[in-house]
Amino acid sequence: MALDTLDRSVPPIFRQGLSATSKLVLLGLLSILLMAADHRLKISYPIRAGIAMVLAPLQWLSLQPERMVHGLGDYFVDLDKARDAAQNFQARSIGQTQRLQQVEQLLQENAQLRELLELRKQFAGPSKPVQVLYDTTDAYSERVVVDRGQLAGIKPGSAVIDAAGVFGQVTRVYPLISEVTLLTDRDQSIPVMNARTGTRHVAYGDPSMLGGSLELKFVPAGADMKQGDLLTTSGVDGVYPAGLHVGSITQIDRRIDSSFARVHAKPMAVARGRHLLVLMPVKDWPSLPAPEDVPKGGAKHKASATGMLVAPPTAGVKP
């Protein structure tokens, strides 16, 4: 039998099921039906929940390497940021501390200047504000250098005061600077008066006693003097104006074998502030004009206790 005469069609016994197209259409419709039913009735939710519960540990384990890499990178980034922030904070803290110290110093200087201005108003004579530059290098003297000299009108022998009282005396004057000898210098002396009793004495500098003090020599052993008495300038030397605070008595040593007592006083101006006031010697103060009669009013000007001319009130004067 020839091969081309054989029947190559599928026998009826092997023909089973639908065609491929029918299967595709049928499965598509089934899929749409299942999706609509799942959307409406939530049929597959328990299945998905169970599968998600089973796969959750596996997902967590699979994400750990990536998280570790990102966490390590973030750690080093945060470490650098924290280091930079700490350095910036430290720099700002140092700057704020420096500014705070400068503010406190400026407040103190402002208070000293205000007190000096109040003192300046109390004197009729000329005065010059000065600033302390440095202490002298001589270990056997108590002197400081100020920033004004002969060109600014500073004269030798001028009194130097601060807000607390007498600071010292100008002893050397140069064109641009001056040297001020403190009251506690062994070569310095100042006439003083006991403000309580009115007795006059001379105080000498004693740098070796009580860290720098004043000694009143030739004081009678029976003199009326107590600890805490205020000593002021007497004004008899023509250098210091009367009434300036000098010091307070701190120690009185009365000996039986001596007719004089040893009296020590603590200077008022012990803070050694930066700003001082130089008062010209009283003998060099300009003299005030003599009082003159008023031509038509008949009233006369009177000199006040501070040396300023004060006119009487004119409320009762008729034209």
**Percentage of the chain modeled with pLDDT above 70:** 75
pLDDT surpassing 50 at residue 310: no
Nearest 5 degrees, angle CA 15-CA 16-CA 19? 95
Predicted TM-score of the model (pTM):
0.55
What is the pLDDT, as a whole number, of residue 191? 92
109 or 22, which is more confident? Answer: 22
Name the residue with tokens 């540990």. 57
What is the pLDDT, as a whole number, of residue 308? 36
Query: Minimal CA–CA distance to 166: which of 140, 193, 148, 147?
Result: 193
Q: CA 213, CA 252: separation in Å to the nearest integer? A: 13
4 or 29, which is more confident? Answer: 29
Q: CA 112, CA 179: separation in Å to the nearest integer? A: 21
